Amino acid sequence: MEEVLLEWAKAIHKENPVVDAHFDLAAEVYHRRLSGERDVVQRRYLEHFAKAGLNVCVSSVFVPSGDLPEKGLHTAVAQIAALREDLEPIRDRIGIVSSREELNLALKEDRIAVLLSLEGLDPIGTDLYLLRAFYDLGVRGAGLTWSRPNPLARGCCKAGEMREIPGGLTELGREAIAKMEELGMYLDVSHLNNDGFEDVLTCTSRPFIASHSNAWRIHPNYRNLRDDQIKALAIRGGVIGLNACGTIAGAYVYPREQAVSRLCDQAEYLLSAAGEDHAGFGFDLCNGLSASTPRLTFETEEDDLLLHHGETLLLSAALLERGVKEETLIKLIGGNFLSYFQTVLA
Ligand SMILES: [Zn+2]
């Protein structure tokens, strides 16, 4: 990578909002603090965030299948508490926000704003009152399900199997969406199956996002969205976030240039399919979470095509090299997701 391109990317990231719409931070912080670590974000992430010029990061709250159903609620609440405690000593640099006003204040004061989102509503079981309880804990977004079935919906895939999972939203899933819209929580359709996506189109009135999904056209994987789905999401004012997980983007981590090049393919395709106002970043970097506990075994590990957030600069520089215009890149790196969050937050 030419130094001049990297410097150009660095300047763009410094001067403009940078957003990662999906990062499994709360789960990792919880696991690490349980085993005695402290200041997890400060020691492991703050430097990389600063290098990327990151301004907004959505931390998912992810409950592993082994905790379900009995411990789902416990784990989700404990993850939120652990993240809050971990961020407390560095509140002048990063903190959880739950309103548009808090988000804008964080941006103005150059603090990183963290939004909380439930990656699957499994922790609420069948009780929609718990949506309100999570809202009061600061959660502002949610996907109905992770890649597994629950009382609301079905996930898009089963680890290791390449087949479509049929079945739309349940009645309770539709009611959950209505309740979320009433509360002012945004909906995330990453991990939802195709039938569920169709149902979302008929029962939502607010824009929704796919925080960490790529284009099926570039890499056929049920975690990715077809062109018609990307367009439907965009028409409603949503944003799709570029996923940097190797299995979802369709590349291997090494050689590095090929990994970044594949991410560029996905990013350029998302920009053209969704339109340049509807694509962003939702990197889904998971190496830290996978390493934080032996209990968690995903389909693949050490699969992140960007080794840390600082490498976002390599991606932006590569996109500039391909001829992506600066004003388009500004929207992709965070402008679009920031506008979305500013619109949906109360
Ligand atoms: Zn995910």
**pLDDT value at position 298?**
56
- Picking from 86-95, 105-114, 302-311, 328-337, which range would have the lowest pLDDT averaged per residue? 302-311
Q: Categorize the per-residue pLDDT at 22 as very low, low, confident or very high, splitting at 50, 70 and 90.
A: very high
C-alpha to C-alpha distance for 231 and 55, rounded to whole angstroms: 27
Question: Distance from the CA of 183 to the center of ligand 1, in angstroms?
Answer: 23
Alpha carbon of 223 to ligand 1 centroid (Å):
9
Taking the centre of ligand 1 as the mean of its atom positions, its distance from the CA of residue 120, in whole angstroms, is 9
**C-alpha 245 to ligand 1 mean position (Å):** 10
Token reading at 19: 């957003």
CA of 212 to the centre of ligand 1 (A): 7
Question: What percent of the chain lies above the pLDDT cut of 70?
Answer: 97
Interval between CA 187 and ligand 1 midpoint (Å): 14
d(CA 206, CA 229): 16
CA 308 to chain centre: 15
Give the pLDDT confidence score for residue 103 in this predicted structure: 98
Span from the CA of 5 to the centroid of ligand 1 (angstroms): 31
Rounded to whole angstroms, the Cα distance separating 229 from 120 reads 20
| pLDDT range class, residue 295, cuts 50, 70, 90 | low
Q: For residue 303, how far is its CA from the centre of ligand 1 (angstroms)?
A: 13
Q: Given this model, what pLDDT does residue 161 score?
A: 77
Place of tokens 């920031």: 338
CA of 119 to the centre of ligand 1 (A): 7
User: pLDDT at position 158, please?
Assistant: 80
Q: What is the whole-number distance in angstroms between the Cα of residue 155 and the centre of ligand 1?
A: 11
How remote is the CA of residue 27 from the centroid of ligand 1, in Å?
Answer: 12
Burial grade of 346 (CB within 10 A; 0-12, 13-18, 19 or more): exposed
pLDDT single digits (tens) 238-267:
999 999 999 999 999 999 999 999 999 999
What is the 286 CA–ligand 1 centroid distance (Å)?
Answer: 9
CA Rg, the chain, in Å? 18
Q: Which pair of tokens denotes residue 175?
A: 């009611």
Beta-bridge partners for 117: 60, 141
Fold designation for 3-344: TIM Barrel (3.20.20)
**pLDDT of amino acid 41:** 98
Q: Are 239 and 340 in contact (CB under 8 A)?
A: yes
Measure 102 CA to ligand 1 centroid, in angstroms: 26
Residue-wise pLDDT for 46-93, tens only, equals 999 999 999 999 999 999 999 999 999 999 999 999 999 999 999 999
Cβ atoms of residues 240 and 267 within 8 Å = no
11 C-alpha to ligand 1 centroid (Å): 30
CB neighbour list of residue 323: distance below 8 Å, 6 or more residues apart: none
pLDDT of residue 78: 98
| Residue 149 backbone phi and psi in degrees, to 5 | -80, 150
Does residue 177 carry a pLDDT above 80? yes
- Ligand 1 centroid–CA 254 distance in Å is 22
Closest-CA residue to 154 (of 168, 139, 140): 168
Evaluate if residue 28 carries a pLDDT over 90.
yes
The backbone torsions φ and ψ at residue 59, rounded to the nearest 5 degrees and listed phi first, read -95, 125
pLDDT of residue 275 exceeding 90? yes
Give the Å distance between the CA of 295 and the centre of ligand 1: 17
Angstrom distance (rounded) from CA 51 to CA 43: 14
Cβ atoms of 175 and 203 closer than 8 Å: no
Q: What is the pLDDT of residue 162?
A: 81
Looking at residue 296, what is its pLDDT?
A: 62
Q: Are 133 and 142 in contact (CB under 8 A)?
A: no
Residues recorded for the chain: 346
Contact 284, 300 (CB under 8 A): no
Q: From ligand 1's centre to the CA of 190, what distance in Å? A: 7
For residue 94, what are the β-bridge partners?
112
Residue 262 CA to ligand 1 center (angstroms) comes to: 19
What gap in Å lies between CA 49 and CA 52, rounded to an integer?
A: 5
Q: With 80 as the cut, is the pLDDT of residue 294 above it? A: no
